[in-house]
Amino acid sequence: MTTPTAVALEDAKVAFRLADERIYTAVEKAHLTVAQGEFVAIVGPTGCGKSTLLNVAAGLLKPAAGSVKIFDRPLAGLNRDAGYLFQADALFPWKTALDNVAIGLEIKGTPRTEALPRAQKWLTSVGLGAFAGRYPHMLSGGQRKRVALAQVLIRDPKILLMDEPFGPLDAQTRQVMGNLLLDLWSADRKAVLFVTHDLEEAIALADRVVIMSAGPSSRIIGDWRVTLPRPRDIFEVRLDREFHALHREIWSVLKDEVMKGYAQSTQAAEAV
Amino acid sequence: MSRLTLLALQVLVAVVCIVLWQVLSTVPVFGKILLPPFFFSNPVDVFSQIVKWFASGVIWKHLAITLWESILAFVIGSLGGVLVGFWFARQPTVAAVFDPYVKMANALPRVVLAPIFALWLGLGIWSKVALGVTLVFFIVFFNVYQGVKEVSRTVLDNGRMLGMSERQLMQHVYWPSALSWMFSSLHTSVGFAVVGAVVGEYLGSAAGLGYLIQQAEGVFDVAGVFAGMFVLSAFVILIDTGVTLVERRLLVWRPTAADGRG
Ligand SMILES: Nc1ncnc2c1ncn2[C@@H]1O[C@H](COP(=O)(O)OP(=O)(O)OP(=O)(O)O)[C@@H](O)[C@H]1O
Ligand SMILES: [Mg+2]
């Protein structure tokens, strides 16, 4: 028996209606699958539609064409199997870190007395045990991301959608967080769709690295399997020869797209 | 500047003003009194009038009435504002239909309603409460409406992805957001509740601070008018301090300017 497919985007096309009634096609014919227990990273130039693809997988955005299947069933409405770590700040500003994490359980009807200690445990496991009483505005950008991670993981979703979760972190903390994520993930191997603009991070973390072309009408233009052995240490894996070979290979494709994406966005800015 | 120097300077301003007032209203300058006592009274008279009110205890009744009217106006106006604000924000069609009328009602200077309320509700406290309610309602309404509309898209999506039902979104997202907007205008709305009460009393009543001022004015008792004004200011400052305390408790989660981060 083959492993079931957790997420399958089949020729998904996403278009936005702009304010002046023109249609902007962000993503064209995206074909992407994530098997159960698989860690897939999406890399692409800024504005190519990475967040858009995650929104489609989350059910927050309906594709204009093509289909979305979650565990082989067509997705209707929100994706109830997924936990989504948003690119922008998404914590509830009026709740403390602890309450922000506990809410994931309380929604499901878990009594507060039971939810709070479990939330505290999750905060501790993302290294924020001492920050339980803080409100989001009293946390740094990286600490907020970690609270958000705990908020998502406490619900134990089968699929994890992560949009540049380590975006605001410095290089060292990114590695610490990456290792933490791999530890948490290896415990129960969820299907992960991980967006990043950092190719090294993508290779170090993922089983597969998917590259998107620059928008508009961006497509998936490459799909590499990463066969580095697990468990990995993010820091050490970067010294591996295979890592370098793969990095060079993917970068040769990605580089052109990054230049294209940059040129297009400056052109667009000049046109305005 | 240390707190103490600041306080000293603040007190100094008051002392200078009062001394100037006292001197100019009693000592002739070049044979002329610059502040004729008939129009300006003088601090000693005003102060003794205040003391007299408190000593005889008459002031308490008036204070209590004004306070009660303000509280009722605030509570009823806020409740109405919250309910209608929520309703409009969640039902864009309703909001669109009523929009011009809301704007019209809000554009109306509320003072002109005072005689009508007196006609409808009599000269007791309710006509004053009604006036206060028309003031408080719109402030709270606009803020709650805004608060519900301006909930961050991402926070809302996050709530949905975490599995919140409409009711839970209400409780955990819309409601706190609306409340925070409402509380940010708490000083204004409480202030307007008092304004409604006092103006209402001034225009026709048998008790309250506004009545006290109006009575003194009626017999050209300028000292009484000033005394009433001072008691009223102290009253408002006291209430405002209370509001600040409540606000600090309820809005701990909000970044303050002192945090240096928006
Ligand atoms: N609601 C919208 N209306 C119109 N255009 C949109 C909308 N949302 C996104 N876009 C456009 O779709 C494209 C893809 O956006 P998306 O947010 O998915 O990019 P991204 O790959 O996540 O970029 P980044 O790495 O900067 O986060 C962009 O060009 C963006 O301008
Ligand atoms: Mg993005």
A37 within a domain of the structure (yes/no): yes
Residue B41 region, left (φ>0) first, then alpha (ψ -120 to 50), else beta? Answer: left
A89 within a domain of the structure (yes/no): no
Lowest mean pLDDT segment, chosen from A6-10, A123-127, B10-14, B247-251: B247-251
A38 within a domain of the structure (yes/no): yes
A159 within a domain of the structure (yes/no): no
Instruction: Quickly state the pLDDT bin for B261 (edges 50, 70, 90).
Output: very low
For B70-115, what is each residue's pLDDT tens digit?
A: 999 999 999 999 999 999 988 889 999 999 999 998 888 888 888 8
Buried b / exposed e along A223-236 (16+ C-beta atoms within 10 A): ebebeeeeebebee
Position A239 pLDDT exceeds 80: yes
Q: Which atom of ligand 1 is nearest to the CA of A18?
A: 4
For A92-101, what is each residue's pLDDT tens digit?
A: 999 999 999 9
What does the pLDDT read at residue B13?
Answer: 96
What does the pLDDT read at residue B174?
Answer: 92
Ligand 1 pocket by C-beta < 6 Å: which residues? A 16, 18, 24, 26, 44, 46-52, 87, 197, 215
A243 within a domain of the structure (yes/no): yes
How many CA atoms lie less than 13 Å away from A196 in the CB half-sphere? Answer: 24
- Check CB contact under 8 Å for B162 and A107: yes
| pTM for this model (two decimals) | 0.82
CB A45 within 8 A of CB A71: no
What does the pLDDT read at residue B259?
Answer: 47
Ligand 2 ion: Cβ-proximal residues, 5 Å cutoff: A 51, 87
Position A190 pLDDT exceeds 80: yes
The domain containing residue A49 runs over which residues?
Answer: 5-81+191-271
How many domains is chain A partitioned into structurally?
1
**Residue A60 C-alpha, separation from nearest chain B C-alpha, in angstroms:** 8
What does the pLDDT read at residue A268?
Answer: 63
Q: Domain-by-domain residue ranges, chain B?
A: 1-39, 41-260
Predicted-complex ipTM score? 0.90
- CATH number, domain B41-260: 1.10.3720.10
What does the pLDDT read at residue B260?
Answer: 42
Instruction: Kindly state the average pLDDT of the residues B224-237.
Output: 92
Position A271 pLDDT exceeds 70: no
Q: State the Cα–Cα distance between residues A67 and A47, nearest whole angstrom.
A: 22
Identify which of A206, A207, A249, A197 has the alpha carbon closest to the alpha carbon of residue A49: A197
Pocket test for ligand 1, best of A9, A13, A14, A16 (most atoms within 8 A of CB): A16
Residues of A in contact with B176 (CB under 8 A): 92, 94
- Check CB contact under 8 Å for B168 and A89: no
What does the pLDDT read at residue B69?
Answer: 94
A60 within a domain of the structure (yes/no): yes
Q: What is the mean pLDDT of chain A?
A: 90
A10 within a domain of the structure (yes/no): yes
Interface test with A, best of B153, B161, B179 (most A CBs within 10 A): B161
A233 within a domain of the structure (yes/no): yes
Residues of A in contact with B163 (CB under 8 A): 80, 104, 107-108, 155
Domain harbouring A38, CATH code: 3.40.50.300
